[in-house]
Amino acid sequence: MRPQNLKTKIFLDSADPEETKKVLEVLGFLDGQTTNPSLLAKLEAEKFIKNGEKLTNKEIYKRYKEIVTEISKLIPDGSVSIEVYDDKTTTAEEMFEQGKEMFSWIPNAQVKYPIIKAGLAAAEMSIKANMRVNMTLCFDEEQAATVYAATRGAKKGDVYVSPFIGRLDDIGENGMMLISNILEDFKQGDGHVEVLAASIRTMDHFLCSLAMGSDIITAPLKILSEWAEKGMPIPGKEYIYDTSKFKDIPYKGIDLNKNWSEYNYQHELTDKGIEKFDADWNSIIIREQ
């Protein structure tokens, strides 16, 4: 069961409803689930695509809807993130139209947009349309401030920003410091954006995110199962995270009161992340003529 002193929401990072069932079994609770094109591609490739065949665009959206609908029924009181397809040519209007469709699939949807110009504009439109969003591929404190500004006026719980810890570690930067910096920066705000620690690769990532007080953590089945085996410990601020391998990410203290278009929200890792999601998505889709 959920530990009484656990304030952070725990999400599963997976597109597989069978893993949802396993987490509910080992933890006894689950606050939400995040999905993305890479996770969907892995699931479809392993379970449904045979002999190198691909699905049509219509078929894969049908499968995606079926999958998140099953997940939603397993965690009806939780949040389920569904990611739009985008590439360098996708407009904000196209993202928003996708988002509206996906948001209608289930009652607890959170539409995922990337932190790029079109994605931020789509998020702004989504909030005005009373939709919930999860702004993904965050690698910089200023990107998080941009999300805050683009979604100003939203209710708490309607907006997540997802910093990717593991991918910053990959380039030798301390991804955990980004979580800490964003949490500190958001103290000056109204609390409408929740920080969702993502790209959790290790138990240290998970425990440190708990110790820092991240609003939400999304982690794969392996990490959540390991946490359960350890008795679901919740470390305090005394938790020591080994940073010897990484460069610090300095705290900037970004002003949250500007228009979102005034911030520098571009980041190379965001662009690379979109390219990877596009490649994974296209690996299972054959475009209809």
Q: Does residue 187 surpass a pLDDT of 70?
A: yes
Among 52-56, 166-170, 186-190, the least confident range: 52-56
Residue that wins the pLDDT comparison between 7 and 40: 7
pLDDT digits (tens, 9 = 90+) for 194-210: 999 999 999 999 999 99
Q: Kindly indicate the confidence band of residue 69, based on its pLDDT and cuts at 50, 70 and 90.
A: very high
* AA letter at 221: L
Q: Kindly indicate the confidence band of residue 88, based on its pLDDT and cuts at 50, 70 and 90.
A: confident
pLDDT digits (tens, 9 = 90+) for 13-27: 999 999 999 999 999
Q: Does residue 288 surpass a pLDDT of 50?
A: no
| Superfamily of domain 9-286 in the CATH hierarchy | Aldolase class I (3.20.20.70)
Per-residue confidence (pLDDT) for residue 37, from 0 to 100: 76
Q: Would residue 112 show up in a list of annotated catalytic residues for this protein?
A: yes
pLDDT digits (tens, 9 = 90+) for 123-155: 999 999 999 999 999 999 999 999 999 999 999
Looking at every residue in the chain, the average pLDDT score rounds to 93
Residue that wins the pLDDT comparison between 75 and 283: 75
Per-residue confidence (pLDDT) for residue 49, from 0 to 100: 57
Annotated catalytic residue within 42, 50, 54, 112: 112
Residue that wins the pLDDT comparison between 47 and 98: 98
pTM (2 d.p.): 0.94
